[in-house]
Amino acid sequence: MKVAVLFGGTSAERDVSIASGAQVIKALRSAGHEAIAIDTARGVLGPQEEQRLLEWNVAEAPPTAIEQSLAQSASDLLFTHLTEIRSADVAFLALHGGTGEDGTLQAVLDLYAIPYTGSGHAASAIAMDKDISKRLFRSARIPTADWVMTPVQTPDVVNTLGFPLVVKPNKQGSTVGLSVVRTPQDLDAAIRLASRFDDEVMLERFIPGREFTVGMLDGEALAVGEIIPQSGEIFDYASKYQQGGATEIFPAQLSAELTGRAQELARRAHRALKLEGHSRIDFRMDNSGEFWCLEANTSPGMTATSLLPQSGQAAGIAFPELCERICRLAIERHRRTVRLR
């Protein structure tokens, strides 16, 4: 199988995407497949650039600005490198955030009838929008914390949500721009920070308790994992991508009943957003044992130690096999779509 691995891009999650792309390329090649490395901000990489890629480390904080030389759009990339991408059997999207995850790139690939991994353009756009996602979770009776969207007045926030609360960009991943706010005096600064990454900001009731995640593959829930941050209460950017930032336990030490409950809610969330292929569903569990859905990730991290691969490993799926299955699911979906046209 020949796979065009698309990664990098120009979003605030560029570093994370490069790390994912590097590991996916290695995994696919180890399984005997041909992988083309394509940074969607630079194009097809040569051997020396690939070597630098394979040694990539994620910085402690997301990039606050992407250099102008990386400003190539998704459509520009496809026009420039269409031959290389179309020569592959499938495009593996190892992009996080921005136009690589919000349905934009997916829509362009659909226009060219190029099979790609993950969810389609509509589901990708919906899942990226936390406000819309939470509305769909509520309609599917999936517990999710109360929230409001900016603009808001502080007295209204106090009456509606109380403190502490979580302030975050509406359409970002990797907890980019996220803050836990404990007093009204800190609210404006947190909103300004989140506004640097998105024009919509969500304020959400903070759920004290434990954090869990469930990987999804072909509509089925994989192993439940627990994330225990080592510095602070939340699984923030530094905790996710720096060594020793968090302890991740797969499978989570939960009763069979609670494990089944988390997996069932993950399946329902996956279906509610009409996701396809693979995803990862994140939860908080409060002190009474109730799970609260935080969000769905249509393009989760794909290093060998990322949460989805760990969820798969605990379910008996090695990382190269996981990457291969994700590709084959994409090809099968594309064939079904073509037959229906």
Which pLDDT tens digits describe the chain residue by residue (341 residues)?
999 999 988 887 888 899 999 999 999 999 999 999 998 888 888 888 888 776 766 655 555 544 434 444 555 566 677 788 999 999 999 999 888 899 999 998 999 999 999 999 999 999 999 999 999 999 999 999 999 999 988 888 888 899 999 999 998 765 778 999 999 999 999 999 999 988 999 999 999 999 999 999 999 999 999 999 776 665 554 454 445 567 999 999 999 999 999 999 999 999 999 999 999 999 999 999 999 999 999 999 998 779 999 999 999 999 999 999 999 999 999 998 877 76
What three-state secondary structure class fits 330?
A: helix
C-alpha gyration radius of the chain: 19
Q: What is the pLDDT of residue 320?
A: 97
Q: Active-site positions?
A: 13, 174, 241, 280, 282, 295, 297, 301
Q: What is the pLDDT of residue 223?
A: 98
Q: What is the pLDDT of residue 68?
A: 39
Q: So what's the architecture of 2-118+321-340 in CATH? A: 3-Layer(aba) Sandwich (3.40)
Q: What is the pLDDT of residue 337?
A: 83
- Residue 334's contacts (CB-CB under 8 Å, 6 or more residues apart) are 90, 113, 115
Q: What is the pTM of this model?
A: 0.89
- Domain spans of the chain, in order of start: 2-118+321-340, 128-143+208-316, 147-205
Place of tokens 């829509």: 107
Query: Is the peptide bond between 164 and the residue preceding it cis, with omega within 30 degrees of 0?
Result: yes
CATH of domain 147-205: 3.30.1490.20
- Fold assignment, 128-143+208-316: D-amino Acid Aminotransferase; Chain A, domain 1 (3.30.470)
- Residue 330's contacts (CB-CB under 8 Å, 6 or more residues apart) are 90, 91, 92, 115, 116, 117, 118, 277
For residue 292, give both structure tokens.
């609260």
What length is written for the chain? 341
Please say whether the dihedral angle defined by the alpha carbons of residues 70, 105, 126 and 335, taken in this order, is positive or negative. negative
Question: Would you say 335 and 9 are in contact if contact means Cβ atoms under 8 Å apart?
Answer: no
The Cα 274–Cα 276 span in angstroms is 7
For residue 296, give both structure tokens.
């769905």
Edge-to-edge strands of the sheet including 278-285? 246-249, 220-229, 210-217, 278-285, 291-297
